[in-house]
Chains A and B, each alone.
Chain A
Amino acid sequence: MKQKKKQKETKQPFSLDLMWRQRYLLLMSVPFVIWVIIFKYIPLWGWTMAFQEVIPKSFALPVWERKFVGFQNFAQAFTDRLFAQTMINTIGISILGIFIGTAAAIIFALLLNEIRMKKFKQFTQTVSYLPHFVSWVIIASIAKMLLNDGGAIETMFGVNLHLMSTNSPLFWIVVCLINVWKEVGWDAIIYLSAMAGIDQGIYEAAKVDGASRFQQMWHITLPGIKPTAVVLLIMSVGSALNVGMERQMLLSNGIVQDHAMVLSWFAYIRGIGSNNYGIGTAIGMFQSVVGIILLFIANKVAGMIGENKLV
């Protein structure tokens, strides 16, 4: 930390001599700058397609020769018969996921923090990371084996809950619970480290005053992680529309597809599936722009209630 301050130097003016002296730094960074421009900024330029009619035939044309259609692609996307349900699904899954996920991670961290046997705590934590490192394809493969009609859960309990075969928002809950199962241990890491940062003296003082362990959890640990929780919660609201297509596609099946469709998947189906690049780009752009707006609002809110801004 001390080093950082010392390093603050007066900025040198641009000169060829300076460039020559920093030639190795240039050589070590310019290729990556070219990479980032090609793979990250050219796709941004691709947003122009959202305002044009772009189908495979007209893609080869330069931008200025394609037919300019204004906001027609957006209008067509918003009036698509799938769009309303897709928006409801995206927001529903997202909000449900944020709340169930956050609550589960906090409860998990809170309880794990109370375990006094170090070895057992360590082991539990290691096991809890396991599903995080496993791909969605594998998770889906396992989930379908367990939850499908006639799967292990049905044979275990003797009732068919139709978890993967009910065309209703029940599917959102199933997806969110699978997600919690996969990520709860991983998400708890940040809360556990926040808990480790709480001054132990406060606990000692509370004990002297005769506070029970529940009281200590409620009045010391929870307020101690509140700033972390609030910031994470607000930032995740900022990415509310970014429900990944991969998870939805892998976990769903023909029966529940109506309630599994989310924006990114919709963009894929309309854009690549039916070869209408203009509409696909428009949907993606809508998602991205709303995401940025939400991020700024969330950041403002975080600043207003006195928490650290993340951006």
Chain B
Amino acid sequence: MENKRTAFDYVLMVLFIGMIGITVYPFLNVLAISLNDPMDTMRNVNFIIPRKFTWSNYSYIFSENNMLKPFLLSVLKTVVGTGIGVICTSMLAYVLSRKDFYFNKPFTILFIITMYVSGGMIPEYLLIMRTLKMGNNFWVYIIPGMIWVYNVILMRSFIEGLPMALQEAAKIDGANDFVIWYKVILPLCTPTIATVALFQAVGQWNSFMDTYLYARELPTLQYVLYEIMESAQIKVDPHAAAMGQMKNAVSPMSVRMAITVVATVPILIVYPFLQKYFVGGMTLGAVKD
């Protein structure tokens, strides 16, 4: 642009720096509280640089409060759920992209309908808990939400955009449909796979309702954070604090913020790298069927 900057450009700049501030400030505030001495935090919660730096909140949640198990469960659920989800989504998307498949139309309709009509919470709850008896079983996190039809449609339109000649060439070489999916389609689908994997991984990592409804005995990180938020009853020993053993003292606020950081950081590390994929995926998502 050869235009020189006008006052408007500077106003915009200031405006957006302000916006970045509003977006980022709460996160920095949380991070600072989690790294600050709990007793000091009680004075005033409004700061973004730890006043009295300490790791004690983190060592507390991972040792005494035993956050390790929920953390590992969240990781396991995210990895398994995303892996299975991506495989199933791409497989189904490939089959539905094959116009020569005899059941293409009816199967496609069967899946699309579910995007608009759902039985609702209670019938789903009863199906999973009473009929299938999947309550408090690890697979309740994985199986019921295995496929998002939206993602299938996203991937199908991507596969339909690939040159058909590749599939035909593979067929002439004697490859069956499964091999074509595995050897030809999957490697070419990397951009959509990245998008779908991100969507599903974020969904799994962030989900809280599935634990809340179906598996309270298998608490994930998000659910533990919810419980702490609701009860605000971290066992703080007031005597220990009064006796001057300040080092081991914790406050509910500090612990909550430390867990908040642990639950947030993995996602913040991943998403900026996948940005170019999901922005494309979002706009492609507006396709009609």
Contacts and interface: CB of A to CB of B under 8 A. Distances in A.
A297 interface: no
Given A43-B118, A115-B16, A155-B44, A25 B123 contact: no
Contacts of B110: 33, 36
A76 interface: no
Interface residues of B, number: 95
Contact of A59 (B22, B130, B163): B130
A111 to B, nearest CB: 6
Contacts of A130: 23-24, 27, 268, 271
Contacts of B131: 42
Nearest to B281: A189
Contacts, number: 256
A25 B121 CA distance: 32
A116 interface: yes
B13 A138 contact: no
Nearest to A15: B102
Interface stretch (A64-72, A139-147, A168-176): A139-147
B271 to A, nearest CB: 5
Among A7, A35, A134: residue with most chain B CB under 10 A? A134
B242 interface: no
A218 interface: no
A39 B144 contact: yes
A27 B20 CA distance: 50
B203 to A, nearest CB: 9
Nearest to A111: B12
Given A7-B99, A127-B20, A137-B225, A308 B288 contact: yes
Contacts of B114: 36, 40-41
B246 to A, nearest CB: 22
Interface string B160-175: 1111100000000000
Given A145-B257, A246-B209, A39 B127 contact: yes
Given A111-B15, A111-B16, A281-B122, A213 B8 contact: yes
Given A130-B23, A138-B263, A144-B229, 5 more contacts: A35-B147, A38-B132, A127-B23, A145-B29, A288-B118
Interface of A: 1, 3-4, 6-9, 12, 14, 18-19, 22, 24-29, 32-33, 35-36, 38-47, 49, 59-60, 108, 111-112, 114-116, 120, 123-124, 126-131, 133-138, 140-142, 144-146, 151-152, 155-156, 181, 185-186, 189-190, 193, 213, 245-246, 250, 264, 267-268, 271-272, 277, 280-281, 284-285, 287-288, 292, 295, 308-311
Interface of B: 1, 3, 5-6, 8-9, 12-13, 15-16, 19-20, 22-24, 26-27, 29-30, 33, 44-46, 88, 91-92, 94-96, 98-103, 107, 110-111, 114, 116-127, 130-132, 143-144, 146-147, 160-164, 176-178, 181, 202, 205-209, 213, 222-223, 225-226, 229, 253, 256-257, 260, 263-264, 267-268, 271-272, 275, 279, 282-283, 286, 288
13 contacts: A32-B91, A32-B92, A35-B147, A40-B118, A42-B119, A44-B117, A60-B130, A133-B268, A140-B229, A145-B33, A246-B208, A272-B213, A281-B122
